[in-house]
Amino acid sequence: MALNTTTNLILNVTTKSANSSLGVTGLAVLQKLKTNAKQLAYGSTTITNGFIEISNTTVASTPVVTDSGTINEVTTFTLSSIVPYKENSTIATIRIIPDSNFRVVKKPSIEITSNNTNAVVYLKETSTANLYNLICNIKESTTIDFECNINYLTSPTAVVTNNINRISFGSSILDKIGQSKKIKIYGSPNTPFKLTVLNSDNNSILSYSNSTDVTPVGVKGCFSSTLNKKGYYTTSQRFPAIPTIRPTAINGSMAASGATKIIFDSLTDVLVGDQIFILDTNNRLINNGDTVKVITLNPDTDNANECTLSASITAPDNTVAIFKRATSYKVNISTTGNLKSTIPDSFPTYTFNQYLNPVLTATATCTVAHVSINGLTAGVVDSDSITGRVKQKDTGTMQLKYILTGKTFTVASGHPVTSDWTTTSGDTTFSVYDFKVTGAGTTTCTIFARILVDQWGVSDTVVDLNIDNIIS
């Protein structure tokens, strides 16, 4: 059979190309003819291993697009080729190019629609995405001019946005002895994030940092990673025990038999509300019962190393004491993606609080001349305290009794009433019961009250009874 030297295949292709475009490239088609002749030193005929070989490149017309940009968009083009008969010949490549945010969801197939005179045509997938070889086989020695459709389907690509949707860690209240917290971050798969954990001095407490993050308090070490392919990440963070503010020792024998007003070697940096812990000779904590906190610093204004405590301490001279303070930690999550609206976008994202047990202190004050409360010097405030647990309900009762001396007393009409008590600080809620006064017209007047805690708060609470409202 002779080699073909003129176009014997004309393929007119039509495809619905909405949301895509087509790239068409004609390929060189090789023909071989066996011969006994030898390669001549002149002329253009190539003889290789006993075959005359010629190659002709398929001509692909420029694709024509109608109804461009609509769902009815159609692309047409024509392939003109010289091919051998009764052989599979790859005449062109067809590349489907999805529009932005679209993808091919049904692989293309080719269908002869008219003028088929015994030819076979099909597409074969290549190793390159959306690139196909167009293969044709002509069965008879004649020129074929026919029409085909290429059919495929595109669909919008789901727009994947990096989101952090939820952060889980349980309670934001930390145990005062320290604890580990599992922090779980949920969102879109592979969303990047940075985790920063800072103490009250804005120093990182992360056990492992692999990056830095810019925060309102400076550039800080952070842990940088991404959510896994299922859209979550879990990490464990260790929070230390509440910090020690001042180690010191009792200076004097005033507490040998128990006292609330005590002098120490140093109270530098100690504040009202700090908790005192007493240590034995082996530096082990001694259980002193209720939480004991600093109520007043320098109560007599003559010694900066003296303070009044919320409960009596019994300990000899030189007993070691340490003062500790409630603290908080800044836990911040940042991302180059988006935080769901339910996640705070302020700094820090969350605050973890480490509270001491709250103390409720009831004080009684009186500025009426010469009046003494419970045998104290006239004008000196009487204080009583009880300890609770953070957020605990319905626990704690104070039985209060104030014996007033120093004059003949007159009780104000309509008093006492619960509004004579005023909360001056704190968030513990309480109710006042059995509030009464006896001894009107005598030189000894006694006020009784019972305070019942409704709900402990997280901070120390002071409630003051202004006795001036009750007597004169």
403-440, pLDDT tens digit by residue?
999 999 999 999 999 999 999 999 999 999 999 999 99
Q: How far apart are the first and last CA of the chain?
A: 134
Asked if residue 446 belongs to a domain, the reply is yes
DSSP bridge partners of 294: 309
Which residues face 446 on adjacent strands? 403, 438
Same domain? For 187 and 99 the reply is: no
Q: What is the pLDDT of residues 212-262, one digit of tens each?
A: 999 999 999 999 999 999 999 999 999 999 999 999 999 999 999 999 999
Question: Percent of the chain scored above 90 by pLDDT?
Answer: 73
Q: 74 and 136 share a domain? A: yes
- Residue 245 belongs to what H/E stretch? strand 244-249
The reply to whether 134 and 277 lie within a common domain is no
Cα–Cα distance for residue pair 271/298, rounded to 1 Å: 11
Is residue 340 located within the same domain as residue 375? no
Digit-by-digit pLDDT tens for the chain (472 residues) are 577 888 888 999 999 999 999 999 999 998 888 877 776 655 556 777 778 888 899 999 999 999 998 999 999 999 999 998 888 999 999 999 999 889 998 999 998 888 766 788 999 999 999 999 999 988 877 778 889 999 999 998 876 689 999 999 999 999 988 999 999 999 999 999 999 999 999 999 998 999 999 999 999 999 999 999 999 999 999 999 999 999 999 999 999 999 999 999 999 999 999 999 998 877 777 755 568 999 899 988 999 999 999 888 999 999 999 999 999 999 999 999 999 999 998 999 999 999 999 999 999 999 999 999 999 889 888 989 888 888 888 778 999 999 999 999 999 999 999 999 999 999 999 999 999 999 999 999 999 999 999 999 999 999 999 999 999 9
Buried b (16+ CB within 10 A) or exposed e, 276-300: bbbbeeeeeeeeeeebbbbbbbeee
Q: How many residues does the chain have?
A: 472
Does 83 lie in the same domain as 187? no
User: Which pLDDT score, from 0 to 100, does residue 170 have?
Assistant: 94
pLDDT for 255 equals 93
Q: In what order do the strands lie in the sheet with 259-263?
A: 259-263, 306-313, 294-297
Residue 19 sits in the same domain as residue 82? yes
Among 101, 128, 156, where does a domain finish? 156
Determine, yes or no, domain membership for 136.
yes
For the entire predicted model, the pTM comes to 0.63
Decide which of 99, 133, 156 is a domain's last residue.
156
| Domain range for 226 | 163-241+331-354
DSSP string, 121-137: EEEEE-SSTTEEEEEEE
Q: Pick the last residue of a domain from 156, 171, 198.
A: 156
Please state the domain count of the chain.
4
Q: 176-179 — which CB contacts under 8 Å span 24+ positions?
A: 176/241, 176/242, 176/326, 176/354, 176/355, 176/356, 176/357, 177/241, 177/242, 178/238, 178/239, 178/240, 178/241, 178/242, 179/238, 179/239
Task: Specify if 365 maps to a domain.
Answer: yes
Residue 117 pLDDT: 63
Q: Specify if 300 maps to a domain.
A: yes
68 and 147 inside one domain = yes
Q: What's the pLDDT at 93?
A: 96
Both 426 and 367 in a single domain?
Answer: yes
Q: Distances from the Cα of 9 to the Cαs of 54, 85, 301, in angstroms?
A: 17, 10, 111
The three-state DSSP-derived secondary structure of 134-171 is EEEEECCCCCEEEEEEEEEEEEECCCCCCEEEEEECCC
pLDDT of residue 40: 62
- Based on the domain organization, do 270 and 298 belong to the same domain? yes
The answer to whether residue 450 sits within a structural domain is yes
> In this structure, are 266 and 380 located in the same domain?
no
Residue 2 lies in a domain: no
Model pLDDT, residue 290: 67
In this structure, the answer to whether residues 224 and 371 fall within a common structural domain is no
Q: Which of 312, 325, 321, 396 is nearest to 356 (CA)?
A: 325
